[in-house]
Every structure is written in structure tokens, then in C-alpha cells.
Structure 1
Amino acid sequence: MPKQVVIPPGTTTPIAPFVPGTLADGVVYVSGTLPFDADNNVVHVGDPAAQTRHVLETIKTVIETAGGNMADVTFNSIFITDWAHYAAINQVYAEYFPGDKPARFCIQCGLVKPDALVEIATIAHIGTAGSGA
């Protein structure tokens, strides 16, 4: 199966050369997702919980556009700017993965825009029924 780009309706041009997601062989790879608005400005400045919710909603949209749902997520790569935000990020994260949790890692690092507190990249296995985009 050739790869298909996954671009949810209303997606704006990214700040770098990438697409929101790629579907290949029933697996959706979601690019690193930052808490950006339609103009690529950081939303909810200073609020790690609200930024995490925004990021996970964006990821959810990419996965749903490909034909899956959040229960299909198998792996998340989480990047945070400060361990002080870890508890707030995890509280929101747990809302999006209430049952069996996906595997993941979390590291502290700098992000592309200083006001961004969290970035998440995701892999979801949706099988062969995904519609692509």
C-alpha cells in the first residue's frame, strides 16, 4: 500500500516542510504537534494543561481523518519544556487514554517556539480500513 498524506480539513500551512500525518499499511504517523492556532501562533500561553488538550485534539483530528480513533494510538513521543508541567500534562493525557494506555516516552527539551510547553508525536494502528486523506 503506498503512503497517503493525512491533512484534516481546515489545516493551515505548517511552519516547516511536513504534513500533519501519513498513513501507510494501516498505520498513521502523526507529526510532532504543537499548540498552534490557525496562524501558527502558540495558544494558551503559560497553561500546560490547556496546551496539552489542544495538541491532543489536533492529533485526534488527524487520526479520525485517516479513519481511526484515539483508542488506536499505540505510541506517543512527548516533549516538554519543564518537568514542573509533567503532572498537568499527564492529567489531561489520561483523559484521552482512559483504558489501555499507549506506550510512550517523555523528555524535557526546548521547542521551536518558546511559548510552547508541550509537543506530541503519535503512531496509531488503524488497520486497513483507513480512508486516507
Structure 2
Amino acid sequence: MPFEPINPPQFPTPIAPYSAAVKAGNTVYVSGVLALGEGGVVLNPGNVRLQTKHVLDTIKTTLEVAGATMADVAMNHIFLKYLGDYAAFNEVYAEYFPDARPARYCLIVEMVKPECLVEIASVAHIG
């Protein structure tokens, strides 16, 4: 099945060779999102709440460009740098998924950029 790369024009240039998302049929696969600005600068270092908000806002925008919404998200792959950030992360996360909550998993990992505290990749199904 052919797929359509989704790269919102308002986003900074990716720091590696990938698309922000790929739409295949009615499914949208959003690449792992970090709290990065132009040139790969980490936004809000040390603040997991603000980084989580930035990451989820970026996912929301990416999905909208692909014709989906946050309500279409079926699965989230979550990566945190510190277990101690889990509660604060969940407080922000719950604001974006208040009703039908997607499946998910959460791992504690080393990040590609040391100042990043959270990364999320999403899968959404439209329709």
C-alpha cells in the first residue's frame, strides 16, 4: 500500500531523515516527537510539563494536517527520561485524552538529546 508523508510546513526541519508522520490508508503513524525548536534546539529544558505540552501540541497539529484528531489516536508509545517525571507527565497527558483514552506503554530511556525529558510516537486511525 502506498503511503503519504506528512510534514507540516510550520515545523522546524527534522534533525534526522524522517517524515513527521506517514498516512497509509486510514492510519496515521506519527514519528517520535521531542520538544525541539528550529535547528534542533531543546525547548523548556528541565520542565517535563512544558515539554509534554509541546510534544502533544505537535502531535495534534501533525494529525490535523493528516485529517485526523487526537480522538483518533489508538496507541501512544511514550518515552520518559526520568521515572520521577511520570506523575507530572500524566497530569498533562490526561488533558489531551480526557475521554476515550488510547492504549499506550511508557518506558524510561536515555534520550537522543540529553535535555529532552519526553518523547511520544502515536498511531491514529481515521474513521
Structure 1: which amino acid aligns with 2:112? V
Q: Can you give the 5+ residue segments of structure 2 that lack an aligned partner in the other structure?
A: none
Structure with the larger helix share: 2
Tell me the SS of whatever aligns to 2:67: coil
Structure 2: which amino acid aligns with 1:40? G
Partner of 2:70: 70
Using the TM superposition, give the Cα deviation of residue 2 of structure 1 relative to its aligned residue in structure 2, in angstroms: 1.9
Distance 2:16 2:45 in 1: 21
Q: Can you give the 5+ residue segments of structure 1 that lack an aligned partner in the other structure?
A: 128-133
Which consecutive segments of 4 or more residues in structure 1 shift more than 4 A? none
Distance 2:14 2:8 in 1: 13
Partner of 2:30: 30
CA RMSD of aligned residues (A): 0.9
- The TM-score with structure 2 as length reference comes to 0.97
Identity over aligned residues, as a percent? 50
- Is the 2:15–2:39 Cα contact (8 Å) retained in structure 1? no
Structure-to-structure mapping, 1:81-96, within 5 angstroms:
81-96=81-96
Using the TM superposition, give the Cα deviation of residue 39 of structure 1 relative to its aligned residue in structure 2, in angstroms: 2.3
Q: Give the number of aligned pairs.
A: 127
Of 44-53 and 7-16, deviating more is: 7-16
Q: Does 1:125 align with 2:117?
A: no
